[in-house]
Amino acid sequence: MRRYFLAASPAAQSGCGPAATPPRSRCMSDSRPIGVFDSGIGGLTVVKALRDLLPNEKIFYLGDTARVPYGGKSASTVERYSLEMTDMLVDEGVKTIVIACNSASAVALPNLEKTLSVPVVGVIKPGAQAAIASTRNRHIGVIGTRATIKSGAYEKALRELDPKIDISARACPLLVPFIEEGWLEDDLTDQIIARYLEPLVREGVDTLVLGCTHYPLLIDALSRTLGEKVKLVDSAHNCATAVQELLDQFSLRAPPKNNGGLEVALTDAPDNFLRVAREALELDVGKIQLREVLPGTVKI
């Protein structure tokens, strides 16, 4: 069981804070930030989608750059890291949490949904829903990190929506390092993508779920390999839409005239990928804050 040792804020005391159980009829708007976390900085693709869709919302982004990547780690380790990151976001006073990491969404979301004191959204269910709506031949491809693909989370989510759907899943562990090097328009990147995706194309997928929040940065390169035959499902965009729906459901939308903004905190100094994300996403991340991870503070 998880425990929080937080003093109740005025908002919580009034029934409009993290401790309140939504929906809350007395709280028609909420100016607190949306909390977003990822294993590194790839989740800034989700932040970009949120900023475009909900410009008046404040966003607090937490990237676990000290322990990136999560994709090659065990399920128990990813769950522990995710619990630590979400505890840190709760301490920041966020009104909802977005898990902008497919690996964390795959293995940690069920427990987080039960234990967090604020609503939480992952990236897998929205992506699965969009893929089902997109496919014409009912054969969907999924690419992601080893942890995401090994978890079978997308297969489970897709088959809950359509038990007879055909699914071809493929781990693509080399893509994230290439993206973080900034090789978004590079012949070698195109060759790696072709090597990973050609089997899926041969198997007949007509829709491909980008099961990693880094992957939207490769939309152009992926499209060069797939052409117009395969529809790409961007988990970042669909996650932002799911967040909008959740805010409306629980009356958590910021006031219309609220000044939206973005704060970024990392658990280690930023590397080259922050520059890549800034340039590719055109995000103003401002001054980067550092947050120390304190392992052992979370009780499961």
> Any idea which residues carry the catalytic annotation?
101, 212
How does DSSP assign the chain, residue by residue? ------PPPHHHHTT-STTS-S--TT-S---SPEEEEESSSTTHHHHHHHHHH-TTSEEEEEE-TTS---TTS-HHHHHHHHHHHHHHHHHTT-SEEEE--HHHHHHHHHHHHHH-SS-EE-SHHHHHHHHHHH-SSSEEEEEE-HHHHHHTHHHHHHHHH-TT-EEEEEE-TTHHHHHHTT-SS-HHHHHHHHHHHHHHHHHT-SEEEEESTTGGGGHHHHHHHHTTSSEEEEHHHHHHHHHHHHHHHTT-PPPTT---EEEEEESS---HHHHHHHHHHT----SPEE----TT----
CB within 8 A of 41, min separation 6: which ones?
63, 65, 266, 270, 273, 274, 277
